[in-house]
A and B are shown apart, each in its own frame.
Chain A
Amino acid sequence: MSERVRLEARGLVKRFGGLVAANDIGFDIRAGEILGLIGPNGSGKSTVMKLVMGIERPDAGSVKLDGVETAGWPSYRIARAGVGIVFQHSRPLHRQTVLENIKLALLPDSLLRLAAAPGVDERAREIAHAVGLGDVLHRHPSTLPFADLRRMEMGKAIARDPKVVLIDEPFAGLTAGEVGAFSELIRGLRDQGRAVLLVDHNVKSVAALADRVLAMYLGQRVAEGTVDEVMRDETVRRVYLGGTIEVVERRGANAEVKPPLLRLEGLSVFYGKAQALDRVDLDVREGEFVSIVGLNGAGKTTLFNAVSGLVPYSGEVRFADRVLSGMTPGAIARSGVVQCPESRELFGELTVRENLDLGGQHLAAGARTDQLAWLFELFPILEARQSQVARTLSGGEQQMLAIARALMMQPKLLVLDEPTLGLAPVILEQLSKALERLRESTPITVLLGEQNVTFALPHADRVYLLEHARIVWEGEPAQFAAEMGAGYL
């Protein structure tokens, strides 16, 4: 801990057009230290990592590696100077073996040295053994399980013996057992005296590893300190949990007796080698409001996409006694399961009204007018913004538009994915009220996915907790606050 500062970042600023992705971010990492950089999606943490690596050029600020200014250098030079990175998604050389992939990282950046230096082969083997790939040296990446691919990326990053290692989402897509093994690897890096930057949206996953944590939100630094300090920090709790958890009294309990509208049985999804959903069972009854809470990467979006027919899956999805597999996404949407996705998927160049009209194209003219009027009542701001181009709306307005557009289809089941993503607290309140009114004024069934528990719980009749591709808890919102609230973050 007393080692000198390896990486020193000061006042880093990066703007993308009007958006300030990182504003005055600074930190130190010493040799043999692990710094966790956390924040929800869109908080700017990945941008900071890219600024350090030289993948993006900072608009202002400095990055010093062992006292040498590297800001503005091309990334290959920064890499040569001793910074390594483990990307979350990488594209390995598919036609080369694991060993060759690791050898790649050991090659000189020279046009004249056609053959690798004699020791390279031996060194690559050592690294492969060190990261736990000793048994699969000669396999092709495409035949490896996901965790081994991550190991290989790790091997590539440490092949150059970097002084600083940047790791993006170290545990995404890994099973609980693999997380342990990976943590060991990362601790190993620290023990070798390297400075490590872990970038994650999940405080909990880096809690056991990080010596210190820096939390970001909307491009700003919101807290810094030990894991405990940061987890107790009010702002951090508000960002992640939305403040104190409160539970509203449930509406009529007759939902219990209604038949299930949506039923998932043994739903599993793989992205290549990575398992994104592991045998998920779930029910949503008619008229019910069900929340699925879970951190980013837990598998919520995958689950919704499986329901909407956008990703291939095994297991069964039933909606109102129909099996949805085999139906096109369009047909599923028309049958009444309408998703309002996390990414909103608005038609940016069309006006608000045009966006809504597209949602209402399946309705008869009269029904369409009524529905529109009702939606304008629900979201008055949209009426005022009717002829504005969707791209130019604020984040909150865009989210309302996305929900309204989905509602234009008069869904039987509205699937709402992360509506609060990247929104300011004041907007959350408006959104929350709109949902409340929606729940009270219509018989609609809602399946909500949220990482913001405070937003998710008040509306919910029932709650599922999704962690690492699995449903780990199911119950009433009140129980959740009592049983899971503390351990969630």
Chain B
Amino acid sequence: MTTVFGPRLLLFIAVFVLVASVLPLWLSAYVLGVLTTAYYFGVFSMAWDLLFGFAGEVNFGPTFLIGLGAYTAALLDNQFHLPIPVTVLAGALAALVGGLLLAVPALRLRGPYFGLVTLVAVLLLQNAIVIFAAFTGGEIGMTVPDVLSIDPKVNYWYALAFLVICAILLFGLSRSAIGLILQASGQDAIEAQALGFNVTKHKLAAFSVSALFSGVAGAMLIFYMGAASVGTVIDIGIGVQIIIGAVLGGRRTILGAAIGAIFLVVVTEVLRPLGQLNTFVVAAVALAVILFFPDGLLGHVLRPRESE
């Protein structure tokens, strides 16, 4: 394990988890609520970064996968009152299917073309939800009768545990054999093939993993929020926020993506007194970071170092 994480990083993570898990002793329910949402967005951004940073696929529609997971879970809960774990599992499966669906064009198309397909996937999902409003609640969304918990502390710990588990798995994966192979195929697919790696297989795996995590996170988010709606989990604006979070934190670092996403949610809240203008300011800050620190806030810190 230490070879994957490195002692310093391991220490950092341990301290972070320790501090984060005792925060509820001091912080108000509101701050915990913000952090809870932020942690789920952290997972979204990490899952996106696995696809972009490692498999080299620019997915403009992370909310397609998230939305599939979230709405599948919400529908099963709302219509059939299935227990939460079952619906989350079903959401994960639906997202997995969606991920494989996206992977098919990804294996054929490059750059902007694949990006557009992912964008269109979101638009189609959004339209489908509005058209089948009788089941989905349409544009105003639907409430889910079950919730993870009504205690903000418990919700926070759920989100934190989920974030930490996802971070360990995704980061571990990115540093594992598969992560190396994915990176190699993202950088030069022909060479990766010539080294004996079935790039198709590995890319499919990356899409599956990314979809799975997105779907589960999406489902858990709606059970935290208590309602699923287009504006919460599907809207392109949400997808943009996820991508910006990852780029802001430092793409290709997994952990940076999570931290960027959390940062973005928190900053938006801190700037809430600006009222209407906070989105504008957040976008401007993000643009400035991209222009002046293209490696992201944490790109440098999280790069594996040379150890001579």
Do the two shown chains form a genuine complex with each other?
Answer: yes
Which A residues are closer than 8 A to B by beta carbons?
53-55, 74-76, 79-80, 84-85, 87, 90-91, 93, 95-97, 100, 103-105, 107-111, 113-116, 138-140, 143, 156, 160
Return the contact of A80 from the options B172, B181, B188, B196 (Cβ within 8 A). Answer: B196
Return the contact of B193 from the options A76, A90, A100, A104 (Cβ within 8 A). Answer: A76
Q: How many A-B contacts are there with CB distance less than 8 Å?
A: 88
Residues of A within 8 A of B181 (CB): 104, 107, 109
B308 touches A139 (CB 8 A): yes
Residues of B within 8 A of A139 (CB): 306, 308
Q: Which of B38-46, B154-162, B197-205 contacts A (4 or more CB under 8 A)?
A: B197-205
B172 touches A104 (CB 8 A): no
A91 to chain B, nearest CB (A): 4
A55 touches B190 (CB 8 A): yes
A138 touches B180 (CB 8 A): no
Return the contact of A114 from the options B172, B190, B193, B306 (Cβ within 8 A). Answer: B172
Chain B positions 75-116 with a Cβ under 8 Å from a chain A Cβ: none
Residues of B within 8 A of A76 (CB): 192-199
B177 touches A115 (CB 8 A): yes
A74-B198, A96-B180, A111-B178 given; A138·B308 CB < 8 A: yes
B183: Cβ under 8 A from any A Cβ: yes
Residues of A within 8 A of B272 (CB): none
Known: A76-B193, A95-B303. 20 other contacts (CB 8 A): A75-B190, A75-B193, A75-B194, A76-B199, A79-B193, A79-B195, A93-B180, A95-B304, A97-B304, A97-B307, A103-B180, A104-B195, A107-B180, A108-B177, A109-B181, A110-B177, A111-B178, A114-B173, A114-B176, A160-B195
A91 touches B191 (CB 8 A): yes
Size bracket of the B interface = 20 to 34
Residues of A within 8 A of B197 (CB): 76, 107, 109
Residues of B within 8 A of A114 (CB): 172-173, 176-178
A91 touches B198 (CB 8 A): no
B187: Cβ under 8 A from any A Cβ: yes
B306 to chain A, nearest CB (A): 6
Q: Digitize B102-145: 1 where CB-to-A-CB distance is under 8 Å, 0 elsewhere.
A: 00000000000000000000000000000000000000000000
B184: Cβ under 8 A from any A Cβ: yes
A100 to chain B: closest residue by CB: B180
Residues of A within 8 A of B198 (CB): 74, 76, 109
A104-B184, A111-B202, A111-B205 given; A53·B304 CB < 8 A: no
A85 to chain B, nearest CB (A): 5
A63 to chain B, nearest CB (A): 14
Task: State the CA gap A113–B181 with chains docked (Å).
Answer: 12
B50 to chain A, nearest CB (A): 14
B205 to chain A: closest residue by CB: A111
B174 to chain A, nearest CB (A): 11
Task: State the CA gap A108–B176 with chains docked (Å).
Answer: 12
B252: Cβ under 8 A from any A Cβ: yes
Closest 6 CB pairs of A and B: A79-B196, A75-B193, A114-B176, A91-B188, A107-B177, A76-B193
Return the contact of B306 from the options A107, A109, A143 (Cβ within 8 A). Answer: A143
Task: State the CA gap A54–B195 with chains docked (Å).
Answer: 12
Q: Digitize B211-232: 1 where CB-to-A-CB distance is under 8 Å, 0 elsewhere.
A: 0000000000000000000000
B181 to chain A: closest residue by CB: A107
Can you report 29 residue pairs joining A to B where beta carbons are below 8 Å apart?
Answer: A55-B190, A74-B198, A76-B193, A76-B196, A76-B197, A84-B194, A87-B191, A87-B194, A90-B188, A95-B303, A97-B306, A104-B184, A107-B180, A109-B181, A109-B196, A109-B198, A110-B177, A111-B178, A111-B205, A113-B177, A114-B172, A114-B173, A114-B178, A115-B177, A116-B177, A138-B307, A139-B306, A139-B308, A160-B195
Residues of A within 8 A of B187 (CB): 91, 93
Residues of B within 8 A of A111 (CB): 178, 201-202, 205
B73 to chain A, nearest CB (A): 26
B190 touches A104 (CB 8 A): no
A105 touches B195 (CB 8 A): yes
Residues of B within 8 A of A116 (CB): 177
B194 touches A79 (CB 8 A): yes
Task: State the CA gap A116–B195 with chains docked (Å).
Answer: 16
Most buried by B among A76, A79, A87, A114: A76
Residues of A within 8 A of B192 (CB): 76
Most buried by B among A55, A74, A111, A160: A111
Residues of B within 8 A of A156 (CB): 195
Most buried by A among B173, B195, B308: B195
Task: State the CA gap A87–B180 with chains docked (Å).
Answer: 19
Residues of A within 8 A of B176 (CB): 114-115
Task: State the CA gap A104–B192 with chains docked (Å).
Answer: 9
A305 to chain B, nearest CB (A): 25
Residues of B within 8 A of A87 (CB): 191, 194
Task: State the CA gap A53–B201 with chains docked (Å).
Answer: 19
Residues of A within 8 A of B180 (CB): 93, 96, 100, 103-104, 107
A97 to chain B: closest residue by CB: B306
Task: State the CA gap A91–B176 with chains docked (Å).
Answer: 19
Residues of B within 8 A of A160 (CB): 195-196
Residues of A within 8 A of B193 (CB): 54-55, 74-76, 79
A127 to chain B, nearest CB (A): 13
Residues of B within 8 A of A74 (CB): 193, 198
Most buried by A among B197, B199, B202: B197
Task: State the CA gap A107–B173 with chains docked (Å).
Answer: 14
Return the contact of B304 from the options A79, A96, A104 (Cβ within 8 A). Answer: A96
A92 to chain B: closest residue by CB: B187
Task: State the CA gap A90–B188 with chains docked (Å).
Answer: 8
A93 touches B184 (CB 8 A): yes
Residues of B within 8 A of A138 (CB): 306-308
A103-B180, A113-B177, A116-B177 given; A140·B306 CB < 8 A: yes
